[in-house]
Amino acid sequence: MNFETDITGLETVEAPVPHIADLETTRVPVAPADGAATAVPQAKASSPRFEGLEAYRGLTALIIICYHCYQHAEQVGVQLYAGTMLQMVLTNSDDVVSLFFVLSGFLNFLPFARAGLKQQGAYPLGGFVIRRAIRIIPVYYIAFLVTWATRYYGSPQQWLDLLEHLTFTQIFDSRHIFWTIGPTWSLAVEFWFYSLLTLLAPLSYHLCRRCKTHRGRIAMLYAIPAFLLVVGIGYKVCCLIFLHIPINNYAVYFSLFGRLDNFSMGMGLAVLMATNNNYIKVRRYVPWLLRGIALLLIILSWINRELSIDPISEYIFYHSMWSLAMLLVLAAAVLASSNFKKNKKGFSQRIWVHLSLISYSIFLWHEPLLIGLDRYLVFTSEALFPVSVITLIALAIGVATLSYWLLEYPISFLGHLFTKEGKLRARYPE
């Protein structure tokens, strides 16, 4: 099967036809096993991909399930494994979602960065928008409408919730942001990031065109994520320190601006890879070193959160360290993909590819399953918690697999109707 890497940061898609394959990722050259120098071929514009991201997408989806199970127990006042390292890990794994945003910034901005550098024509926005719409919206709508309908009890607030979720505006309403399917707040943030990209992409191409040198274009491209990083961190500092907006104001902190620093870090990585033709030669220990530093940052973020008495510094440093850690994790995966061969037919690799393939459906369906099976799964007992989590993971994987093959994959064939520029294909030549 031909697996193509999707750009939402939430899933990997098996593209049924070449023209709807995601062009935002890059098939990178692989260094020889003996470590000898090799010429770097020109990156292909069609059917490219970065391998090595499958494991992180699949693993992140499973970590999110574990966190939501633990959160489910906390909501009824039960603190499982109190005072243990396991409690610290479960409590502080909430911001693993940062990986999705960093990954999305990287893969989405990569084609625009390449286009800005080469100045051989702007990357088609129409195709980008069409592919994102086909990939994200139909399955999201189906999952949400099914869940909403099964929980409808006649409240007018539910109709408002329906309207907000169908328009991806629930993140502007602190009351409804987590209604029906809580994790979809991150999809709404993604949606508005795509909207921002439709403005930034032509701007970045135009600014690069005004630069007379290649170095000038590189500097201009780096300036864009750097500016967004400053805006994102500055936004949170302003809201916390100067405006004194409480952290539980979700419409403020779970918004695009609240996560802009996540996206900007991924965009910076995209510029780095684009300026190096998607290949940076490194020694084998470098990816592991980056992963080690990322783990250290995560541990430091946990310690900071546990010991901090200032919610302002706790919030800013905690999320910033997580974002940087996720950036290093992705950088390690990208560098490893471009330098070292993998056994694509290995059993463990196929498992991660499958989990990555269905991770979008896992993300959408696991919470409705968790709530729907609440009377059968026990998350408030330390003895039964692991069993319940494993059971939910198994069920979520099963449902997500069905969702992919019955919904996601068939819907992806809608891409046949459009060219890569986003225009309708002429089916009957004149």
Give the separation between CA 172 and CA 165, rounded to whole angstroms. Answer: 11
Res. 192 pLDDT band, cuts 50 70 90 = very high
Q: What is the distance of C-alpha 398 from the center of its chain?
A: 22
Amino acid at 405: W
Q: What is the pLDDT of residue 423?
A: 85
Report yes or no: 46 and 15 within 8 Å, Cβ to Cβ: no
How many Cβ atoms from other residues are within 10 Å of residue 94's Cβ? 17
The per-residue pLDDT of the chain, averaged, comes to 84
How many Cβ atoms from other residues are within 10 Å of residue 390's Cβ? 12
* More confident site: 180 or 350: 180
Report yes or no: 356 and 401 within 8 Å, Cβ to Cβ: no
Whether residue 388 is predicted with pLDDT greater than 50 in this model: the reply is: yes
Whether residue 20 is predicted with pLDDT greater than 80 in this model: the reply is: no
Res. 26 pLDDT band, cuts 50 70 90 = very low
Q: Give pLDDT tens digits for 131-169.
A: 999 999 999 999 999 999 999 998 999 999 999 999 999
Q: What residues contact residue 224 under an 8 Å CB cut-off, 6+ apart?
A: 200, 204, 267, 271
Q: What is the pLDDT of residue 428?
A: 67
Report yes or no: 313 and 26 within 8 Å, Cβ to Cβ: no
Burial class (CB in 10 A: 0-12, 13-18, 19+), 46: exposed
Whether residue 317 is predicted with pLDDT greater than 80 in this model: the reply is: no
* More confident site: 97 or 8: 97
Quickly tell me which residue has 């989405």 as its tokens.
108
Percent of the chain with pLDDT strictly greater than 70: 83
Give the separation between CA 281 and CA 274, rounded to whole angstroms. Answer: 14
First-to-last C-alpha distance (Å) of the chain: 35
Q: What is the chain's Cα-based Rg?
A: 22
Output the six-digit token pair for 243.
Answer: 């405006």
What are the extents of the domains in the chain? 18-32+40-417
Percent of the chain with pLDDT strictly greater than 90: 58
Hey, is 210 helix, strand or coil?
helix
* More confident site: 353 or 338: 353
Q: Give pLDDT tens digits for 219-255.
A: 999 999 999 999 999 999 999 889 989 888 999 999 9
